[in-house]
């Protein structure tokens, strides 16, 4: 199979952060395959080979549940994110799948206007085309720091 | 302009360091705000006759392994020496006071302060002073200087079920006595075989450390604030459960058992927010609990005074270390773990159930913020006080979780240590 074009990867990355930052979280799970892996972890944990994450989902159902819980069950102050991405560095491409590393920075904006850099890090991604759409088979959000301020409600 | 304030017209001025009448059922808010209290706590509490949780034995499993941690605000190195024993000492060079270890942990043969290269062994003994005899017959230390007279403060170390505790006090009781039978037994229940670490995160809480420690002990709030639990009937006050408080009041354990037959609907009757019966999980396998301890207890939350939490939420296991960072901030260090002999299925189950706890935990994320809600709420209320009367005014063990007995127990123990 042909390689996945960088244009498609860029479009997926851009759509993903737009979805979260625009608070369209119900659409967020659709960026992933049904069998997927989404983990928010830290560089220290990743390097140590620790598999545990701050968020860990290995099915799309778990991603849907994460959003349902945020909408229906969990209590947190109103907040939003602004993701700023660096350029994806494609590390592997061919056979209908690809892998890349993309740096991110997330500013968390609280309801009272307080804005802070909430997380920086790199997305370690694996992509696959399914039904003509490019999706994440795996997305590890590896934060540079193991320190989380207050709580992590919205996904990275 | 001359402004005359009539006497008694400013009722909310703080009453510094004076505990209000009502003993354990009233908590003055200045206790969360005062820098003087923070200093007293360091001296009398954290460096006093208590056992501070330092790290897991599994984190210093081999000779030469070390971890850097804190006792209150005191930086501490925990190291396993080549005699296989675990030692803990202040992370402070005896010379000028610089940190001896600059990272979070690792592996070493010995420690050398970067400032003037004073060298320490894994027990914290000063072994070498650079240019001790001078250079070319000039300079150097006085002949009377004795290395063994100088060194960072050393801690007593206790290893209970793989939990490493440290104390600066010679008067603290042995760890089992300190914990009491009930708490010790509930630790043994969980930590009954070798553990393996699966993750480490720090959650920075925007509040005084005591607000978090009280929160963990507060069985009353769990099913009211954390609606994920109640929505899925994981934790209802009407479920079979209870709590126990250690004799000194400072440590506690709360637990609950799954009781699917219980159809009581106390929450709906009270119209409480945390009742959303129609909410269903798309992937309910998250809650696929294995009764790994063979007793049907699906949740056990345990604290050891003054800074330790052991968590079993279904199969999500973690220890949490509570560290004050000034009076307005707290570092909550999460270490998630499993057992060395976990099957691949159990390993996966734990990784998935870790979603229940931690900084993004379905049932714990609120705890990261609620202490800040109090800290912000009481900003101008140093002279006011909290009311803690649920379940009466005592600190005794109760067979219900609709009680604040363990919160009162904390204050009983705290006040005895801090002397206020």
pLDDT (0 to 100) of residue B278: 58
Please tell me whether the interface predicted TM-score (ipTM) of this complex is above 0.90. Answer: yes
Q: Give Cα separations from A2 to A88, A98, A99, A122, A139 (angstroms).
A: 19, 11, 14, 26, 22
Global pTM value: 0.93
Task: With cut-offs at 50, 70 and 90, classify the pLDDT of residue B16.
Answer: low
**B58-85: pLDDT as tens digits:** 999 999 999 999 999 999 999 999 999 9
Q: Specify the range with the lowest mean pLDDT, choosing from A102-111, B10-19, B29-38, B353-362.
A: B10-19
Instruction: Check B366 against A152: CB less than 8 A apart.
Output: no
Between CA B63 and CA B370 the distance in angstroms is: 41
Is residue B268 over pLDDT 70?
no
* DSSP of B304-354: ETTTEEEEEETTEEEEEEEEE-STT-EEEEEEEEEETT--HHHHHHHHHHG
Alpha carbons B338 and A40: distance in angstroms, whole number: 19
Q: What is the mean pLDDT of residues B237-266?
A: 74
Nearest 5°: phi and psi at B399?
-90, 40
Position B14 scores a pLDDT of 46
Tokens of B298: 């699906």
> Is the predicted pLDDT of residue B325 greater than 90, yes or no?
yes
Q: Label residue B404 exposed, middle or buried (CB < 10 Å: 0-12, 13-18, 19+).
A: buried
Least confident of B106-110, B218-222, B329-333: B218-222
Quick: pLDDT tens for B88-144: 999 999 999 999 999 999 999 999 999 999 999 999 999 999 999 999 989 999 999
Q: How much is the pLDDT for B11?
A: 46
Q: Residue A129: which residues within 8 A CB-CB, separation 6 or more?
A: A4, A96, A97, A135
Tell which residue, B154, B162, B167, B206, has the closest CA to residue B305: B167
How far apart CA A36 and CA A119 sit, in angstroms, is 23
- Give yes or no for a cis peptide into B306 (omega within 30° of 0): yes
Hey, of B360, B362, B369, which one would you mutate to test binding to chain A, going by the most A CBs within 10 A of its CB? Answer: B360
The more confident residue out of A8 and B226 is A8
Residue of B nearest to A155 (CA): B360
Residue A89's SS3 state is strand
pLDDT over 70 for what percent of chain A?
A: 99
> A54 and B359: CB-CB below 8 Å?
yes
Give the model confidence (pLDDT) of B17-63 as tens digits. Answer: 788 876 789 999 999 999 999 999 999 999 999 999 999 999 999 99
Look at B9-13, B206-210, B228-232, B286-290 and tell me which has the smallest mean pLDDT. B9-13
Cα atoms in the 13 Å half-sphere on the side-chain side of B230 = 24
What digits encode the pLDDT tens for the residues B372-389? 999 999 999 999 999 999
Cβ-defined contact of B351 to A53 (cutoff 8 Å): yes
For residue B362, which residues of chain A lie inside 8 Å, CB to CB?
A: 69, 73-74
Asked whether B222 and B286 are in contact (CB, 8 A), the reply is no
- Record: contact A51-B351, CB cut-off 8 A: yes
pLDDT, one tens digit per residue, over B163-178 is 999 999 999 999 999 9
The packing angle between helices B365-377 and B209-217, to 10°, is: 130
The whole-number average pLDDT for the span B192-209 is: 97
Count Cβ atoms below 10 Å from residue B384 Cβ, excluding itself: 16
- A49-59 mean pLDDT: 97
CA nearest neighbour of B314 among B302, B304, B300 = B300
For residue B8, pLDDT over 80 is answered with no
| 3 state SS of B266 | helix
pLDDT score at B233:
60
């Amino acid at each position: 199979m042909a390689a996945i074009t960088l244009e498609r990867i860029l479009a997926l990355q851009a759509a993903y952060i737009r979805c979260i930052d625009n608070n369209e979280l119900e659409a967020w799970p659709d960026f992933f395959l049904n069998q997927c892996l989404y983990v928010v972890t830290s560089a220290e944990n990743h390097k140590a080979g620790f598999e545990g994450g701050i968020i860990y989902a290995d099915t799309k159902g778990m991603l849907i549940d994460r959003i349902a819980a945020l909408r229906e069950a969990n209590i947190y102050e109103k907040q939003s994110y602004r993701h700023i991405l660096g350029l994806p560095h494609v590390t592997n491409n061919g056979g209908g799948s690809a892998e890349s590393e993309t740096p991110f920075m997330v500013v968390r904006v609280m309801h009272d206007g307080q804005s802070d850099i909430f997380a920086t890090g790199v997305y370690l991604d694996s992509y696959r085309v399914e039904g003509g759409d490019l999706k994440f088979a795996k997305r590890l959000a590896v934060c540079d720091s193991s320190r989380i301020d207050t709580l992590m409600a919205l996904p990275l | 302009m001359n402004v005359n304030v009539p006497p008694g017209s400013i009722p909310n001025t703080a009453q510094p360091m004076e505990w209000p009448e009502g003993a354990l059922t009233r908590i003055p808010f200045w206790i969360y705000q005062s820098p003087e209290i923070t200093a007293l706590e360091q001296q009398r509490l954290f460096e006093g006759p208590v056992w501070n949780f330092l790290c897991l034995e599994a984190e210093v499993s081999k000779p030469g392994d070390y971890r850097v941690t804190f006792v209150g605000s005191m930086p501490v190195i925990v190291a396993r020496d080549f005699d296989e024993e675990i030692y803990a000492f202040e992370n402070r060079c005896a010379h000028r006071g610089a940190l001896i270890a600059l990272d979070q942990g690792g592996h070493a043969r010995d420690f050398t302060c970067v400032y003037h290269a004073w060298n320490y062994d894994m027990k914290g003994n000063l072994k070498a002073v650079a240019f001790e005899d001078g250079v070319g017959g000039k300079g150097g230390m006085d002949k009377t200087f004795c290395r063994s007279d100088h060194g960072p403060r050393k801690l007593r170390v206790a290893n209970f079920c793989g939990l490493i505790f440290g104390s600066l006090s010679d008067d603290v009781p042995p760890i089992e006595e300190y914990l009491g039978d009930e708490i010790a037994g509930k630790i043994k229940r969980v930590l009954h075989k070798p553990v393996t670490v699966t993750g480490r995160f720090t959650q920075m809480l925007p509040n005084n450390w005591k607000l978090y420690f009280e929160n963990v002990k507060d069985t009353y709030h769990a099913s009211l604030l954390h609606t994920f639990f109640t929505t899925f009937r994981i934790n209802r006050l009407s479920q079979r459960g209870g709590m126990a408080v250690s004799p000194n009041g400072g440590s506690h354990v709360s637990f609950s058992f799954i009781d699917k037959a219980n159809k009581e609907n106390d929450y709906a009757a009270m119209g409480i927010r945390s009742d959303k019966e129609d909410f269903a999980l798309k992937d309910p396998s998250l809650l696929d609990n294995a009764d790994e301890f063979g007793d049907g207890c699906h949740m056990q939350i345990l604290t050891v005074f003054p800074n330790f939490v052991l968590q079993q939420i279904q199969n999500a296991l973690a220890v949490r270390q509570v560290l004050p960072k000034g009076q307005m901030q707290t570092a909550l260090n999460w270490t998630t773990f499993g057992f060395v002999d976990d099957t691949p299925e159990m390993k996966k189950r734990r990784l998935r159930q870790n979603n229940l706890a931690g900084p993004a935990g379905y049932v714990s994320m609120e705890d990261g913020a609620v202490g800040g809600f109090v800290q912000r709420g009481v900003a101008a209320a140093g002279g006011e006080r909290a009311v803690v009367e649920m379940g009466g005014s005592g600190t005794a063990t109760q067979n219900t979780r609709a009680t604040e007995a363990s919160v009162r127990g904390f204050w009983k123990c705290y006040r005895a240590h801090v002397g206020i």
